[in-house]
Amino acid sequence: MFIRNESFSQYIRMYPVISALIALNVLIFLLGFLPVIGDRIILFGIGYNAAIADGEYWRFITPVFLHAGFMHLLFNMFSLFLFGPELERLTGKVRFLTIYLIAGIFGSFATFFLHPPAYTHVGASGAIFGIFGAFGALLYYGGRALPQLRQILLPILVISVIMTFLTPNVNATAHIAGLLAGFLLGLSYFHPKRIVSWKKKSGNRNIRRIK
């Protein structure tokens, strides 16, 4: 499920939304090194609770596309590259983008309401956790029928939540809020009545794209 065997061109063709998101994040990160443009991107894009309280509401979404450093960017984009394709395949392009963006925005909303005005944050982690949450909804509906899927996804979900609270300088609020948002959206998208069919592939059962 999470092993990528596609070539570069195949990956882009099969998963255009993920490819576009990765490209956009990398582009914004590279623009951040430019003397004037980079400073403005950070200044006007960072999640800053005090600025949001003053009416700069675009900061609910812009932090999702900013990262604090190369390793921060690499970790989030690798997670998107690895875990995103199966979800984009199952839900379709529009629903996948909806999960990603709403989870990221919900993480920013939670951060705004639960942290002090001086709190600042950047990163796509809330959106990434939205992907995990959507998979959690899939487990909720089909975990017993798909034991192999459960064995793969459940440890990933548990470890991700644990690492959220063990890793320093992490916006745990955005992680958990994104996870919850993705789960709630997944409950709608993966509802049993919306599942079209099942098939066997390489000895494993996979869900075809839902309506």
Q: Which positions are annotated as active-site residues?
A: 125, 175
DSSP state of 198: E
Alpha-carbon distance of 123 to 174, in angstroms, equals 9
For strand 204-207 and strand 198-201, is the pairing parallel, antiparallel, or unpaired?
A: antiparallel
Q: What is the largest CA-CA distance in the chain?
A: 55
Contact (CB, 8 A) for 99 and 73: no
Residue 23 CA to residue 36 CA, distance in Å, equals 21
DSSP letter, residue 68: S
How far apart, in whole angstroms, are the C-alpha atoms of residue 173 and residue 45? 19
d(CA 184, CA 59): 23
User: Which token pair is 24?
Assistant: 């956009």
